Structure 1
């Protein structure tokens, strides 16, 4: 039986991976601050995310380590939140590196979160693994620092992969998709801003399948774009959201409306207006097959769509 250790296993993506790998017959160990929201069957290991402890022993003799730790970016980018966002990613990555280096039998593969937000705002062409252009701004600086901290670890015998993941959609939990469905039910599901910005996405199951595929592929290392191969415009995305809840009409949101809404919800409009046009060129070229390459296929094939 293979073993996977998931750091932040009680978060949304942690639960997605836990459920999937348990179904595949893996032993799943979840490292987290609290045992709440863990999937049944996951072995809980406590850590504080700040210092070495007994949790480091859980990394011995395991097949895969996946680090998903990081404070949510769904907040206002004040100085305190900026520091918390950065430290929660860079700090925990360095801490895990220290733990992995201390293992007598370290994990065979270490997969670390990153984000597709690392690329620039792109409406002119897609951003592939090899030709994607790194952007600017706070979110990009976080992603760059996160990946740098990860690649600096360079532990001998441990294959390392950073996941530049797009928006993960699901109806199993509150995600961007379900939040927008809620707006659409009140006829607020129109385009946001110009509507021309691209939305890169991936389904929860394809995300888990991609993680497994990377974990088991001995030649996989470096960075991977983890996104479905067919991103859509915001206008198209919102139309599909409306279709999913049986609404034909949705009021469009101008920039000032989004600014006001973001202020009220204590978040940033960058999460809505940045054009993330990301293509998973490495995954496709190396043989990964998506279960749902288009949102329409997911809507037609998932339960209740």
Structure 2
């Protein structure tokens, strides 16, 4: 299978590249060829621009994972615009190339996030949930998905990856959470009752490969483990895994002062479950948080 991938040097993309079976021919679109080749070597071909492409007829699949990191900087108006446009513009270019050819890719897999649902209460949220809270994360993901769905046709199926918190020892949200816990200063944020929907990096990659290979899959999929936990439970499990206490809390007003609007990501949760993935027959290797953290060998 010939695959065009964006975001191949990121946390998920680099792990996916290492897991794809031999025989797949992957071309990765990246802004920094030297860094990509140093990190990932000969696992893929590298392309610095898609301007030379007139269509995507030579590819069997597109895996679109690129985007400005959502939690790296405070959400100024300028940063929110970068977050949006880095996703919307590239996805639109890929869709346009799909539509320009006579033999478009058979599958278009595109990133999204459980932020699509916006803040929710403690009810279980599946892909069939009827209502979303209208806020920045929802508007970002809604338009991102709408653009990707333009690639849908009789010959191209589109799968949308509504991703939760990806647990990995090599990057992402977990690595940013760990320092205060390692010093025995970690604990819940706000009241700790908000739900955190997480997924182990191995299951994240396996789910993408599953959607890539299953010809009857299309539409939105929640890429989260079946058992979301509260922020308080997550904090206690992480502290226990690191053999550290969990006695401190960070009041909501402090979180808001430190992070501004971005504090919404940690103070308001969603209890999301992967209903459509499980209906499609996908099996999670890491279903419970304690085991998932232990498997990462964080200490």
Normalised TM-score (structure 1): 0.90
> Structure 1 residue 4: deviation in Å?
2.3
Q: Among residues 44, 48, 67, which one is paired with 2:46 in the alignment?
A: 44
Contact 1:31 1:45 in 2 (8 A): yes
Q: Deviations over 1:61-118 (max 9, x none)?
A: 3232111122122132222122222211111111111111223432111001111011
Distance in 2 (alpha carbons) for counterparts of 1:179 and 1:293: 22
Is residue 267 of structure 2 the alignment partner of residue 273 of structure 1?
yes
Residue 163 (structure 1) aligns with:
161
Contact 2:235 2:246 in 1 (8 A): no
Distance in 1 (alpha carbons) for counterparts of 2:164 and 2:205: 13
C-alpha distance 299-77 of structure 1, shift in aligned 2 (>3 A): closer
Residue 138 (structure 2) aligns with:
140
Residue 15 (structure 2) aligns with:
16
> Structure 1 residue 39: deviation in Å?
1.9
Q: What SS is found at the alignment partner of 1:99?
A: helix
Worse overlay, 3-12 or 203-212: 3-12
Residue 5 (structure 1) aligns with:
4
C-alpha distance 140-217 of structure 1, shift in aligned 2 (>3 A): same
Q: What SS is found at the alignment partner of 2:171?
A: coil
> Structure 1 residue 186: deviation in Å?
1.9
Contact 1:163 1:224 in 2 (8 A): yes
> Structure 1 residue 25: deviation in Å?
4.8
Is residue 246 of structure 2 the alignment partner of residue 244 of structure 1?
no
> Structure 1 residue 249: deviation in Å?
3.0
Contact 2:217 2:280 in 1 (8 A): no
Q: Deviations over 1:198-230 (max 9, x none)?
A: 000101110110011111111101111111000
Two-structure CA RMSD over aligned residues (Å) = 2.0
Normalised TM-score (structure 2): 0.91
Distance in 1 (alpha carbons) for counterparts of 2:93 and 2:165: 26
> Structure 1 residue 188: deviation in Å?
2.2
Contact 1:126 1:278 in 2 (8 A): yes
Contact 1:110 1:160 in 2 (8 A): yes
Is residue 276 of structure 2 the alignment partner of residue 282 of structure 1?
yes
Q: What SS is found at the alignment partner of 1:211?
A: helix
Residue 183 (structure 1) aligns with:
180
Correspondences of 1:65-214 after superposition (within 5 Å) = 65-74=62-71, 75-131=73-129, 133-171=131-169, 173-214=170-211
Contact 2:241 2:294 in 1 (8 A): no
Correspondences of 1:26-65 after superposition (within 5 Å) = 26-35=24-33, 36-37=35-36, 38-40=39-41, 41-47=43-49, 53-55=51-53, 59-65=56-62
Q: Deviations over 1:1-41 (max 9, x none)?
A: x23221121222221211221x5653222111112144221
Distance in 2 (alpha carbons) for counterparts of 1:257 and 1:187: 19
Q: What SS is found at the alignment partner of 1:161?
A: strand
User: Any stretches of 5+ residues in structure 1 without a counterpart?
Assistant: none
C-alpha distance 177-212 of structure 1, shift in aligned 2 (>3 A): same
Contact 1:242 1:250 in 2 (8 A): no
Is residue 252 of structure 2 the alignment partner of residue 255 of structure 1?
yes
Aligned length in residues: 294
Contact 1:197 1:276 in 2 (8 A): yes
User: Any stretches of 5+ residues in structure 2 without a counterpart?
Assistant: none
